[in-house]
Amino acid sequence: MTLRVDDLRVSTGGRRLVGPVGFTVEPGRPLVILGETGAGKSLIAQAVMGSLPRGLIASGAVSLDGARVDALPRGAREALWGRRIAILPQEPWRALDPLMRNLSQVAETHAEVAGQDWAQARTLARADLADLGLGAQAAAARPGQLSGGMAQRVAFAAATAAGARTLLADEPTKGLDDARRNDVARLLRRFVEGGGVLIAITHDIAVARALGGDVMILRDGEVLETGPSERILSDPQSDYGRALVEADPENWPFWTSTAAGAPVLAAEAITVGRGGRALLGGLTFALREGARIGVIGPSGLGKTSLLDTLAGLIEPMSGRLLRHGAGERPLAVQKLFQDPPAAFAPLATLAEQFRDLARRHGLVPQAIPALMQRLGLAPELLDRRPAQVSGGELQRLALARVLALRPAAILADEPTSRLDPVTQRNVMAVIGEAAEEAGAAVMLVTHNGALAQRWAGTVLDLARHAVAAEGVVVQTPERASAA
């Protein structure tokens, strides 16, 4: 069983979007297509599957086990779906039917596609789910009641139940935190080791590293290089490949802390909670001038609530929050948000938004242009609305907005998790340098452990109740039980 693609191109209205792309994938050796958003990665999967949206045209050859499938009539092509070739969707919690129980979504593939009778189909589905570590409770639940990782496993079972041994996984880890990303990688790894043919499409180098096999680097629809994973990920030849690999937080240099200054914001045994429910308890630490603290932990632990508490947006449920020195000024604690476009007024131009800020706080007229120049931002950007500016630029604009108020502490909530790796690298570097110049403390919340380890001087792992070092005193934080 082999999947072979030759000279594949996808175009619309005469404009080429992807290609030419060619590769062969054998059982047991996956191909990882690596590239940033908008590089046309998903189009390759759709072209192989034969499910491109109307208006997009594919050319080239796609062969399954030596037989051309791209020229098949539509009905015959669709007959391969589920039986020979399957797709693992992005964000499976949206791809599963929200109204149907998980078991039925797997069982119906056995029944409707593989032709089993329904009783048998349900038995098989139950076994499939159990095999993936999903018990009777998860089987009886609906997708909305599952975590992202569990939903991905249900989708995997549903997609492959009719015997497809060729799997196209399209951004299978999108929106998942480190631990769940590793779960999905293990799931795919197991499929490959069982003799499956796998193409994984991702922007995450960690997924590529975990899966092994071959890697293809794609940019603007063009293949830059292809080769064994070990070689490409350690010694890429193309400029973009090098940038991509260097941008992987695993390859960042460690930040060496300069001497931390006086404390600006201190938490004394605070309990963080939202809506009357305690999330994190017994946290004691101090944010010092020029210090960086990285906060990691799985989703849903209360990382954002911790930042909101420090910013004064919600009250701590117990304990004290103290501001010292520069931290005592009003507006001394500022925040950077995860989704840059969501942090600006969407319908006003950036110029209007900065003008409001300057007027309100009596800033000197040159302050904003000077800051923008310092952060490498073109002045023309101001004429646009937030949606017309790239995520990386917008996050730097958000930083400029925050720096204009000379903050003592900057709380950054996953500021780069929506950015592609190269941009992430740049933005994190800019945040670090600018904060250092301004003498501001930074608390960075991230789901990426490697990034936190290298970018911040100190790491506070909320999951492991960890205690860390210089500039911070952390008492063992406990996961408070629901009040």
Partner 1 sequence: MTTAMARAARWTIRPAAAQSLGGLILGRLIQALIVALVVGVVGFAMLESLPGDAAYRIAAGRYGHDMVSAAAAEQVRAELGLDRPSWVRLLAWVGHLLTFDLGQTAVTGERVVDAIAHQLGHSVLLAALAVGLALLIATPIGVMAGLNPGGLFDRITGVAAILLRATPAFLLGVVLILLIAVRMRAAPAAGHAHGASAFLPALTLGLVLASVLTRVIRNAVVRTVSSEAFQFARHKGLSTGAALWRHGARNAAAPVVAYLGVQTALLLEGVVVVESVFAWPGIGHALTHAVFERDVTMLQGTALALGLSFVLLSFLIDLACRAIDPRTRG
Partner 2 sequence: MTAPGMTTGVGPITLGGMRPGRVIGLVGAGVIVALTITGPDLVGYDPARQNLRAVLAPPGTAGHLLGTDHLGRDMAARILGGAQLTLGLAALAVGTAAAFGVSLGMLAGWRGGWTDRLLGAFADGVLALPGLLLVMLLAAIRPDSWWTLYAGLSLTLWVEFFRVARQRARVLTAGEAVQAAELLGLGRWHIVRRHLWPDLAQQVLTLAAFGGATVVTALATLGFISVGLRPPTPEWGVMMSELLPSWRSAPWAIAAPILALATTVLCLRLIAGEETEA
Binding site for partner 1 (CB under 8 A): 49, 51, 78, 81-83, 86-87, 89, 91, 94-100, 108-109, 112-113, 142, 144, 155, 158-159, 161-162, 164, 346-347
387 sits near partner 2 (criterion: CB under 8 A): yes
Q: Show Cβ contacts of residue 169 under 8 Å, excluding neighbours closer than 6 positions.
A: 87, 88, 188, 198, 199, 200, 201
The answer to whether 422 and 220 are in contact (CB under 8 A) is: no
330 sits near partner 2 (criterion: CB under 8 A): yes
Nearer to partner 1, 104 or 426 (CB): 104
The answer to whether 44 and 59 are in contact (CB under 8 A) is: no
The answer to whether 292 and 471 are in contact (CB under 8 A) is: no
Nearer to partner 2, 86 or 333 (CB): 333
Tokens of 88: 């693992």
Name which of partner 1, partner 2, none residue 333 binds, using a CB cut-off of 5 to 8 Å depending on partner kind: partner 2
Name which of partner 1, partner 2, none residue 475 binds, using a CB cut-off of 5 to 8 Å depending on partner kind: none
- Least gap, CB of 10 to partner 2 (angstroms): 16
376 sits near partner 2 (criterion: CB under 8 A): no
Q: Which residues pair with 68 in a beta bridge?
A: 63
Q: What is the DSSP string of 323-384?
A: E-GGGGSTT-EEEE-SSGGGGS-TTS-HHHHHHHHHHHHT--TTHHHHHHHHTT--GGGGGS
The answer to whether 244 and 421 are in contact (CB under 8 A) is: yes
Among 339, 438, 450, 466, binds partner 2 (CB under 8 A): 339
Residues making up the chain, counted from first to last: 483
429 sits near partner 2 (criterion: CB under 8 A): no
Name which of partner 1, partner 2, none residue 193 binds, using a CB cut-off of 5 to 8 Å depending on partner kind: none
Coil, strand, or helix at residue 150?
helix
Contact range with partner 2 by CB under 8 A, out of 58-66, 177-185, 233-241, 329-337: 329-337
Name which of partner 2, partner 1, none residue 120 binds, using a CB cut-off of 5 to 8 Å depending on partner kind: none
Among 76, 331, 429, 469, binds partner 2 (CB under 8 A): 331
Contact range with partner 2 by CB under 8 A, out of 218-226, 254-262, 356-364, 459-467: 356-364
Tokens of 175: 């929106």
Of residues 290-319, which lie at the interface with partner 2 (CB under 8 A)?
A: 311, 313
Name which of partner 1, partner 2, none residue 401 binds, using a CB cut-off of 5 to 8 Å depending on partner kind: partner 2
- Least gap, CB of 91 to partner 1 (angstroms): 8
Name which of partner 2, partner 1, none residue 116 binds, using a CB cut-off of 5 to 8 Å depending on partner kind: none
Q: Which residues of 393-422 are buried (b: 16+ CB within 10 A; e: fewer)?
A: bbbbbbbbbbbbbbbbbbbbbbbbbbbbbb
Kindly determine how many residues on this chain lie close enough to bind partner 2 according to the rule CB under 8 A.
32
Q: Using CA atoms, how far apart are residues 27 and 9, in angstroms rounded to an integer?
A: 24
Q: Rounded to 5, what percent of the chain is helix, strand, coil?
A: 40, 25, 35
Cis before 369? omega within 30: no
Among 342, 370, 429, 469, binds partner 2 (CB under 8 A): 342
Tokens of 463: 């999951």
Name which of partner 1, partner 2, none residue 49 binds, using a CB cut-off of 5 to 8 Å depending on partner kind: partner 1
Q: Using CA atoms, how far apart are residues 388 and 391, in angstroms rounded to an integer?
A: 9
Name which of partner 1, partner 2, none residue 89 binds, using a CB cut-off of 5 to 8 Å depending on partner kind: partner 1
Among 7, 193, 235, 356, binds partner 2 (CB under 8 A): 356
Residue corresponding to tokens 């076994």: 127
Among 156, 191, 285, 337, binds partner 2 (CB under 8 A): 337
Q: Which residues pair with 44 in a beta bridge?
A: none
Tokens of 64: 């399954």
Name which of partner 1, partner 2, none residue 455 binds, using a CB cut-off of 5 to 8 Å depending on partner kind: none
- Least gap, CB of 364 to partner 2 (angstroms): 17
Name which of partner 1, partner 2, none residue 204 binds, using a CB cut-off of 5 to 8 Å depending on partner kind: none
List contacts with partner 2 (CB under 8 A). Answer: 311, 313, 330-331, 333-335, 337-339, 342-348, 352-353, 356-357, 360-361, 387-390, 393, 398, 401-402, 405
